[in-house]
Amino acid sequence: MTAPISESWTRIENWLAEHAPATYAALAPPADPADIAAVERVIGRPLLKPLVMSLLRHDGLLNQRDALLPGFYKPMSAHEIATAWQLLTRFYDKREADEIGEEADYDFMKRGFSSVLYGHPQLIPIARDLGGGHLVLDHRPEIDRGRVHEAEAVEGIKRVSHELWTTLPVLMEAIATSLETSQSLNGYTPVVDQEQRLCWDIAPLRSDQPLHRS
């Protein structure tokens, strides 16, 4: 059974405080519930509970230098989520999506990507990288509800098959376990740089290699 997102946050916080204090210090305070309500008004629907619980723990990160999530993604604040949603949904072509209909969902499930779904108003951005890509949380009332996808302008929405993207609680629990064990997570290995910040190396970490970079 997947742990509640609050438990995973506690494990992540404890690890960061001991091993990567600079990243720990970059964790933002809890979001104001009024800011979360404002996001819900902007997007026109309630946010899924795991996302709300995560925002109530940390309202994103305080700077652009830290990437808490594998793939160099930075969790966004409630305000950043609303802003990114307004930007991304400008690219959504509802008429094209309606014309393609169920074929878009079929291609997405079978091929693993869809340009038609890029900017879909029920795919809520929750994290971003420095290159402009996002992680989005699927709020659609279908089979992928609660799943985390990658979104970028060229390929559109990418449905990553690795199980860690199944839900936000699964992702956060997997991150906590990867930090505690130094084990690779979907090709990314946690390390700590000389500035005591968490980084994710693409190359797997050898068993005889120390956690901290020299």
Distance, in Å, from the CA atom of 24 to the CA atom of 11, rounded to the nearest integer, reads: 12
pLDDT of amino acid 213: 43
pLDDT tens by residue, 164-181: 899 999 999 999 999 999
Spatial separation of the C-alpha atoms in residues 200 and 161, rounded to whole Å:
20
Query: How far is residue 212's CA from residue 124's CA, in Å, rounded to a whole number?
Result: 34
Q: pLDDT > 90: what percent of the chain?
A: 69
Q: What's the rounded Cα separation, in Å, for the pair 63 and 210? A: 27
Predicted structure pTM score:
0.90
Long-range contacts, stretch 149-155, CB < 8 angstroms, 24+ apart: 149/123, 150/71, 151/88, 151/118, 151/123, 151/125, 153/91, 153/118, 155/113, 155/115
Assess contact for 151 and 116: CB atoms under 8 A.
Answer: no
How far is the C-alpha of 97 from the C-alpha of 114, rounded, in Å?
11
CA–CA dist 196, 160 (Å, integer): 30
Q: What is the pLDDT of residues 107-152, one digit of tens each?
A: 788 788 888 899 999 999 999 998 889 999 999 998 899 999 999 9
Return the H-helix or E-strand segment holding 46: none
* 103 confidence band (pLDDT: 50, 70, 90): low
Would you say residue 28 has pLDDT above 50? yes
Q: How far is C-alpha 61 from the geometric centre of its chain's CA atoms?
A: 12
